[in-house]
Chain A
Amino acid sequence: MRSPRRFWILVIIAALCAPGCLDRAELEDIAWVQAIGFDKGPEDFLSTTLEIGVPRSLRAGPATTGAAGGPHYITITVVSRTALEALDLAALNLGRRISLVHAQLFLFGEELARSDLRPLVGAMDRFRQIRGSTPVAVAHGRAEDILRVNASPLEVSPNRFIQTVMQQYERTGLFEAATFVRDFTNLMESSSMSPRCPILSLAADYQPQKAGGGQGDTQGGQRDPAQGFPSTPKVGERVEPKVDLKEIGPGEDTTDLGGWQVPKIGGGPVIMMGTAMFNGGKMVGALTGEETLTAILIRNDFKRGSFPVLDPTAPDKPELSISVGAAGAKSKITVKRAESAVSVAVEVRMDVSYISPQTQTDYTDPRMTPLAERAIEDYIKGVMDRAIAKSQAVGSDIFGFGEKVRHTFLTWPEFEAFAWLTKYPATKIETMVHVKIKRYGLDLAPLVVPPAEIIQPPEQ
């Protein structure tokens, strides 16, 4: 009976080792980074901002402050030559070892992103604490600013906010859900597709805080990052749009803006919308929310989204738009190549349903349905063509047309020599959209207008 005894000794040893700390670090000795941001620092240095959770404050308590009355997180910004040095310097200041294993977001400031991210991303890719599945985004403005206010009034921690906001990708399609390795690092090396990631920005109604009111400042300043940003505005306050709404055409909506332009008041201080387009390691342009939706459609990644389409019978009345929703779509990309000339045909097929048609025209009438379908097709095609033209103008194939161009070659050296990304701007790309209205919501027709109103409309 020696073997069973040996077996149990082995089990006990394994059980003792398994829960142990592999690298001799106590949890209380570690500062857990929730998000990390990078900006261009002074004199070509790197400015690294760490958003670090304060676990004792994450226990039950009001959403704005933790149980211990302190902030849920702190941020520290360190200027150094490399990111690794920044971690060491932050550790010296905080008195704890910095760990990135639970980081939920890598955020790059726009100025840094437009210079070249390749060396930084390459260095991060090698670091064992970095998880490739971590979401990545570009900050409109500086990453450090966004990380300092990155809080949703509904979430107890910024970490949780990042998780829940990323889920909105599948529900709205108004931003790209990019992960560090799959959509960023690997695509920086790709000869057939360009990197892309969402844009995170401060909301249009966010006002910079007054001096002396830093986060977590218990000496009369703010104790909570979201404090100072009124999630519920005062009575009488109104939305003050940062953009001229008159410039938004009747066929467009506010989803066709950048996140930082969306007219709003209250809620949270940050918004994720749109797509940053890259050419290699450099950010070269951006797509709006609506354009992003069509890019996702082309790539066959579309899950759900909605489109505000003008009523074709009342094109001058945007308030009567047909609002349709779609869940799933099929796109087919056909590539033809003759020597160095490439032509691409994109065909998108989707079934839509009315969600909240404000139109007063009864498009459930089978004679009228084709009219609405053509209007929806034209709308989506218009936005899609605009997104493609924008990406061609900056030479960033975020749609992955090059992935299909690969099929036209037999060997890799031939494809590499073809240098698709240099051909992309001049490539002829045709789009076709086929829409079928399948469901009409819970009402079959618009609300009935009493005949008396039609005969004698009330005077204003």
Chain B
Amino acid sequence: MSRKSQTKSTGIPQGHVGWVEAAAMIFVFDVTKAFLAFPERMSRSAQTAAWSVPVFSALLSGLWIWALVSVLEANPGKDMITISKSLLGPYLTFALGMAFYLFNVSIVGTASREIADALATVILPLTPLDLLLFVGYAVSLYLALKGVEILARMCVAGSVLIVSLLVAIAILSANMWRVDSVFPLLGPGPVKLLKTYGLRQSIYTEVLGIGMIAPYLRRSEDTGKVARRSLALSAAVLSLTVLNCEMVFPFPSLSHVPTPILRVTRLIFLGRFFQRFDAVLVPVWLTAGVLKLAAGMLVGALVLGTTLSIKSLGLLTAVTAVMSAAVSHFIPDLATAIILDFDILRPYSVVLLDGWPLALWAVSRFRSHPGQRSGRGKGGQRAE
């Protein structure tokens, strides 16, 4: 039975979630990009070796995720901003917090724009883009305002839907696969490939959200489990999706298809009376999109609230929604949204990913905080 919402010292209301719900939330937040231009960008980056990027980038990401989890588990009940304030000082934390917030707003903005644009291009050509965006944001905001507990539970259902659908698409499109498409195995060459693996750790920037979700865990010891499971599942699903798209649209064809999974789905032909499999894809796609936006808004609001010590999570969620909507609105077209997301924001976010958690871990190793270290206990309770 869920515990009644309580108020943290920041004033942010919270419920408590188990590791499954938390992992599902991080997974949905991260993996929804599989429905968008993600496979196309992987194809551009790594050519025939595109499928390997999610796997090897996940292995590299393991380092900063391990550092983050170590710090969070050593400070139960605290989020990464609060921990940063005590370890890195308020000024650096403010800069990091705002950078993470702006990044979050931007990826929510670009993702919603990609979804709305694809929807308008393929299914609703006469519907104004702003109307699609408005409806998407309204539903997402409603969900985000429901709080972590409800959103995380919805993400469990969303995860099942997303994984089932992507696996079904892979199975049903298997007759179109050209397995030789993954050769030559090293794509652009070993050096460029390694560079791509490093830069594309940004695929998992959303996993940084664990830093804000951790205080909501019933058991703070589960933080590592949440990180490992969500990262592994994300890597597997993203790699399978890219592999599937790559074998149906061999490089270089894949490198100019902005919504590959939708295109693959439209190729599935099961028979005379069942040849519109995209009718199944679109609802799941929209569900995943709405959950991603909601998770992004919620994480953004938590980051902003903790960084600026503002107590009203509802207000901050609405502010985050408006800011993300503004980003979506001012992006001129789909191509710009994709470039902004995958070629500008994410590559630079690697500095944040590799710098912030590792800095926290390093400082926590060299500075003594006996008071905080002794506060290890049940999640959701602040260390005094």
Tell me the nearest residue of chain B to A122, going by C-beta: B256
A412, B188: Cβ atoms closer than 8 Å: yes
Q: A181 near B: Cβ within 8 Å?
A: yes
Cα distance, A407 to B181, chains bound together (Å): 10
Residues A314-339 near B (CB distance < 8 A): none
B124, A185: Cβ atoms closer than 8 Å: no
- In angstroms, how far is the closest chain B Cβ from the Cβ of A154? 16
Task: Please judge, given known A-B contacts A22-B123, A128-B121, A128-B122, whether A409 and B183 are in contact too, CB under 8 Å.
Answer: yes
B268, A133: Cβ atoms closer than 8 Å: yes
Cα distance, A181 to B266, chains bound together (Å): 10
- Per the CB 8 Å criterion, the residue count for chain B at the interface is 33
Residues A4-39 near B (CB distance < 8 A): 22-24
Residues of B within 8 A of A404 (CB): 180
Q: A415 near B: Cβ within 8 Å?
A: yes
Residues of B within 8 A of A410 (CB): 184-186
Q: B249 near A: Cβ within 8 Å?
A: yes
Task: Please judge, given known A-B contacts A128-B122, A133-B266, whether A192 and B185 are in contact too, CB under 8 Å.
Answer: no
- In angstroms, how far is the closest chain A Cβ from the Cβ of B283? 10
Residues of B within 8 A of A181 (CB): 249, 263, 267
Q: A131 near B: Cβ within 8 Å?
A: yes
B180, A413: Cβ atoms closer than 8 Å: no
Residues of A within 8 A of B188 (CB): 411-413
Cα distance, A415 to B48, chains bound together (Å): 11
Tell me the nearest residue of chain B to A190, going by C-beta: B250
Cα distance, A356 to B269, chains bound together (Å): 35
Q: A132 near B: Cβ within 8 Å?
A: yes
A412, B48: Cβ atoms closer than 8 Å: yes
Cα distance, A403 to B177, chains bound together (Å): 13
Task: Please judge, given known A-B contacts A185-B253, A186-B253, A189-B252, whether A411 and B122 are in contact too, CB under 8 Å.
Answer: no
B189, A182: Cβ atoms closer than 8 Å: no
B184, A411: Cβ atoms closer than 8 Å: yes
Residues of B within 8 A of A288 (CB): none
Residues of B within 8 A of A131 (CB): 266-267
* Residue of B121, B123, B250 touching A186 (CB-CB under 8 A): B250
Q: B80 near A: Cβ within 8 Å?
A: no
A163, B183: Cβ atoms closer than 8 Å: no
- In angstroms, how far is the closest chain A Cβ from the Cβ of B261? 13
* Residue of B180, B190, B249, B267 touching A406 (CB-CB under 8 A): B180
Tell me the nearest residue of chain B to A22, going by C-beta: B124
Cα distance, A407 to B185, chains bound together (Å): 8
Task: Please judge, given known A-B contacts A404-B180, A406-B180, whether A412 and B47 are in contact too, CB under 8 Å.
Answer: yes
Residues A165-207 near B (CB distance < 8 A): 179, 181-182, 185-186, 189-190, 192
Cα distance, A202 to B248, chains bound together (Å): 33
Residues of A within 8 A of B187 (CB): 411-412
B125, A413: Cβ atoms closer than 8 Å: no
Residues of B within 8 A of A22 (CB): 123-124, 127
Q: B197 near A: Cβ within 8 Å?
A: no
Q: B51 near A: Cβ within 8 Å?
A: no
Q: A414 near B: Cβ within 8 Å?
A: yes
* Residue of A133, A400, A411 touching B269 (CB-CB under 8 A): A133
A132, B184: Cβ atoms closer than 8 Å: no
- Annotate B216-258 by CB proximity to A: 1 below 8 A, 0 otherwise: 0000000000000000000000000000000011111100000
A133, B126: Cβ atoms closer than 8 Å: no
A411, B268: Cβ atoms closer than 8 Å: no
A403, B253: Cβ atoms closer than 8 Å: no
Q: B176 near A: Cβ within 8 Å?
A: yes
Cα distance, A415 to B183, chains bound together (Å): 10
A132, B253: Cβ atoms closer than 8 Å: no
Residues of A within 8 A of B365 (CB): none
Residues of A within 8 A of B272 (CB): 163
- Per the CB 8 Å criterion, the residue count for chain A at the interface is 28
Q: B178 near A: Cβ within 8 Å?
A: yes
Task: Please judge, given known A-B contacts A190-B250, A406-B183, A409-B184, whether A24 and B267 are in contact too, CB under 8 Å.
Answer: no
Cα distance, A403 to B184, chains bound together (Å): 10
Residues of B within 8 A of A406 (CB): 48, 180, 183-184
Residues of A within 8 A of B123 (CB): 22
Q: B275 near A: Cβ within 8 Å?
A: yes
A128, B184: Cβ atoms closer than 8 Å: no
Tell me the nearest residue of chain A to B180, going by C-beta: A403
Cα distance, A414 to B188, chains bound together (Å): 9
Residues A377-425 near B (CB distance < 8 A): 400, 403-404, 406-407, 409-415
Residues B280-305 near A (CB distance < 8 A): none
Residues of B within 8 A of A186 (CB): 249-250, 253
A413, B266: Cβ atoms closer than 8 Å: no
- In angstroms, how far is the closest chain B Cβ from the Cβ of A203? 26
Task: Please judge, given known A-B contacts A163-B272, A410-B186, A413-B188, whether A182 and B176 are in contact too, CB under 8 Å.
Answer: yes
Task: Please judge, given known A-B contacts A132-B263, A133-B267, whether A412 and B184 are in contact too, CB under 8 Å.
Answer: yes
- Annotate B101-125 by CB proximity to A: 1 below 8 A, 0 otherwise: 0000000000000000000011111
Tell me the nearest residue of chain B to A182, going by C-beta: B176
Most A Cβ at <10 Å: residue of B186, B190, B250, B263: B250
Residues of B within 8 A of A400 (CB): 180
- Annotate A351-365 by CB proximity to B: 1 below 8 A, 0 otherwise: 000000000000000
- Annotate B165-200 by CB proximity to A: 1 below 8 A, 0 otherwise: 000000000001010100111111110000000000
- In angstroms, how far is the closest chain B Cβ from the Cβ of A296? 15
Cα distance, A412 to B180, chains bound together (Å): 12
Task: Please judge, given known A-B contacts A404-B180, A409-B183, A414-B184, whether A23 and B126 are in contact too, CB under 8 Å.
Answer: yes
Cα distance, A267 to B253, chains bound together (Å): 41
B126, A24: Cβ atoms closer than 8 Å: yes
Cα distance, A24 to B124, chains bound together (Å): 10
Residues of A within 8 A of B268 (CB): 133
Residues of A within 8 A of B189 (CB): 411, 413
Tell me the nearest residue of chain B to A18, going by C-beta: B283
Tell me the nearest residue of chain A to B173, going by C-beta: A182
A407, B180: Cβ atoms closer than 8 Å: yes
Cα distance, A189 to B48, chains bound together (Å): 14
Residues of A within 8 A of B269 (CB): 133
Residues of B within 8 A of A132 (CB): 263, 266-267
- In angstroms, how far is the closest chain B Cβ from the Cβ of A169? 14
Residues of B within 8 A of A189 (CB): 252-253
Chain A residues with a Cβ under 8 A of chain B: 22-24, 128, 131-133, 163, 179, 181-182, 185-186, 189-190, 192, 400, 403-404, 406-407, 409-415
A–B Cβ pairs within 8 angstroms, 18 of them:
A22-B123, A23-B126, A132-B263, A132-B267, A181-B263, A186-B250, A190-B253, A400-B180, A404-B180, A406-B48, A406-B183, A407-B183, A409-B184, A411-B184, A411-B187, A411-B189, A412-B47, A412-B184
Q: Apart from A133-B268, A179-B267, A411-B186, what 20 extra A-B contacts exist at CB < 8 Å?
A: A23-B126, A24-B126, A128-B121, A128-B122, A132-B263, A185-B253, A189-B253, A400-B180, A403-B178, A403-B180, A404-B180, A406-B183, A406-B184, A407-B183, A409-B183, A410-B184, A410-B186, A411-B187, A412-B251, A414-B184
- List 10 A-B pairs, minimum CB-CB distance, nearest first: A403-B180, A406-B183, A409-B184, A133-B269, A412-B47, A411-B189, A186-B253, A132-B267, A23-B126, A410-B186
Chain B residues with a Cβ under 8 A of chain A: 47-48, 121-127, 176, 178, 180, 183-190, 248-253, 263, 266-269, 272, 275
